[in-house]
């Protein structure tokens, strides 16, 4: 069992990583016998995990209810959020209840936002079931729902009480979802840890095969890197913005194409290549690093080109609604070299457009 602490003073919390944690009530700290909880999941995961976890918590003395939402990014919406609120109010649940998010990034983000806003804030526990959620979205307290005009535009910074990562959940993960998660994994190597990037180049096939030892190390390292960044910049005033490499372009793809058409990691992968080409055009990233990044993404089964349906001009309106825009000025995360990235403002539109053209099919 691995345990990492996200150090945020009185709001610090553990990330527990091991196989079989869904069968271990101790890992669901701080839940104790007599507590009331609401378990939120989706209709794809419910047949796999819901009954066993629900029954185990129930037998452990937890007064537990459940909400099953439709799966898919398109359901990270006000309508689904209201469904959660209705269930919480109907039962009813008070400020002493705990929300448990059992799922990938969609469930984690939505349930976390529900926890942040229901009765002005209740405790919640993240139980991420996808690689993407385990290495990224479940850690750090970003919660949100989507709007038709922009991804994750309605949300709050709200930290969980704990994060429970059961490695066995990855055994039921579809291959496309596994690749999507690897985009966020590769991101950490590009922006923060060149040695980890090299490790990924050597061990990618083991990760694609979900080999337990390699996967455990990979998830632990990603969580360590993110926990360190969150501890010094919880609300994204500085270094945490680096974690958005590729996301400005990627969110434009997800919004323009319609939520769910491209998985988040797929859009981020294409966006990272666009950001890398922007860095190359600014003479901030050498050709060898560009090739290594592209090659690793391709080996992971990820796109390095944007959607054929989008023109470069289609990206700009969406990118100008990005949360990093300040004073109507675009700010992009660009890789300077493997293991190091910077947030740059004032990048001319023609550079951004050319970087997109560099990644057109």
- 137, 152, 172 - which closes a domain: 172
User: 180 and 95, same structural domain?
Assistant: no
User: 194 and 157, same structural domain?
Assistant: no
Q: How would you write the pLDDT of the chain (361 residues) with one tens digit per residue?
A: 899 999 999 999 999 999 999 999 889 999 999 999 999 999 999 999 999 999 999 999 999 999 999 999 999 999 999 999 999 999 999 999 999 999 999 999 999 999 999 999 999 999 999 999 999 999 999 999 999 999 999 999 999 999 999 999 999 999 999 999 999 999 999 999 999 999 999 999 999 999 999 999 999 999 999 999 999 999 988 899 999 999 999 999 999 999 999 999 999 999 999 999 999 999 999 999 999 999 999 999 999 999 999 999 999 999 988 877 765 778 899 999 999 999 999 899 999 999 999 998 6
Residue 251 known to be catalytic:
yes
User: 113 and 229, same structural domain?
Assistant: no
Q: Could you read off the pLDDT of 46-104 as tens digits, one per residue?
A: 999 999 999 999 999 999 999 999 999 999 999 999 999 999 999 999 999 999 999 99
**Residue 168 contacts residue 20 (beta carbons within 8 Å):** yes
Instruction: Return the pLDDT at 327.
Output: 52
Nearest to 357, CA basis, from 298, 319, 314: 314
User: Which CATH number goes with the domain that contains 138?
Assistant: 3.40.50.1970
- 115, 144, 172 - which closes a domain: 172
Catalytic option among 93, 151, 221, 251: 251
CA distance 125 to 29: 9
Residue 184 known to be catalytic:
yes
CA distance 263 to 258: 10
User: 272 and 322, same structural domain?
Assistant: yes
Can you name the residues that pair with 345 across neighbouring β-strands? Answer: 331
Catalytic option among 76, 123, 142, 187: 142
User: 333 and 204, same structural domain?
Assistant: yes
User: 341 and 205, same structural domain?
Assistant: yes
Q: What residues have CB less than 8 Å from 273, skipping those under 6 apart?
A: 246, 293, 294, 297, 304, 305, 358, 359
User: 107 and 181, same structural domain?
Assistant: no
User: 139 and 99, same structural domain?
Assistant: yes
Number of domains the chain contains: 2
Residue 264 known to be catalytic:
yes
User: Which CATH number goes with the domain that contains 324?
Assistant: 1.20.1090.10
Residue 120 known to be catalytic:
yes
Range of the domain at 305: 175-357
User: 60 and 137, same structural domain?
Assistant: yes
User: 147 and 46, same structural domain?
Assistant: yes
DSSP 8-class letter at 338: T
User: 210 and 80, same structural domain?
Assistant: no
Residue 226 known to be catalytic:
yes
Catalytic option among 151, 244, 254, 281: 244
Q: What's the pTM value of the predicted model, to 2 decimals? A: 0.95
- 150, 172, 194 - which closes a domain: 172
User: 142 and 71, same structural domain?
Assistant: yes
Residue 247 known to be catalytic:
yes
């Amino acid at each position: 069992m691995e345990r990492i602490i996200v150090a945020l003073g009185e709001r610090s919390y553990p990330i527990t990583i091991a196989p079989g944690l869904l069968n271990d009530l101790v890992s669901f700290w701080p839940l104790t016998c007599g507590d009331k909880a609401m378990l939120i999941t989706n209709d794809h995961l419910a047949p796999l995990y819901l009954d066993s976890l629900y029954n185990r918590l129930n037998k452990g003395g937890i007064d537990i209810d459940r909400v099953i939402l439709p799966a898919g990014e398109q359901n990270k919406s006000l309508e689904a959020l209201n469904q959660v609120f209705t269930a919480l109010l109907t039962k009813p649940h008070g400020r002493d209840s705990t929300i448990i998010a059992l799922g990938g990034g969609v469930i984690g983000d939505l349930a976390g936002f529900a926890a942040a806003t229901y009765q002005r804030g209740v405790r919640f526990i993240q139980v991420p079931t996808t690689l993407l959620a385990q290495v990224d979205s479940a850690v750090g307290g970003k919660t949100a729902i989507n709007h038709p005009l922009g991804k994750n535009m309605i949300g709050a910074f709200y930290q969980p009480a704990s994060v429970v990562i059961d490695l066995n959940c990855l055994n039921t993960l579809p291959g496309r979802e596994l690749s999507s998660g690897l985009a966020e994994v590769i991101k950490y190597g590009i922006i923060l840890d060149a040695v980890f990037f090299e490790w990924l180049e050597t061990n990618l096939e083991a990760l694609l095969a979900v080999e337990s030892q390699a996967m455990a190390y990979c998830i632990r390292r990603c969580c360590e890197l993110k926990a360190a960044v969150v501890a010094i910049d919880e609300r994204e005033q500085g270094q945490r913005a680096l974690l958005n490499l590729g996301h400005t372009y990627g969110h434009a793809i997800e919004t323009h194409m319609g939520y769910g058409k491209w998985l988040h990691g797929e859009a981020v992968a294409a966006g990272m290549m666009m950001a890398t080409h922007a860095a190359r055009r600014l003479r901030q990233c050498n050709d060898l690093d560009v090739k290594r990044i592209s090659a690793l993404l391709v080996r992971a089964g990820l796109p390095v080109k944007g959607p054929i349906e989008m023109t470069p001009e289609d990206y700009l309106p969406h990118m100008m609604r990005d949360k990093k825009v300040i004073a109507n000025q675009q700010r992009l995360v660009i890789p300077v070299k493997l293991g190091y990235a910077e947030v740059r403002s004032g990048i001319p539109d023609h550079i951004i457009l050319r970087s997109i053209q560099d990644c057109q099919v």
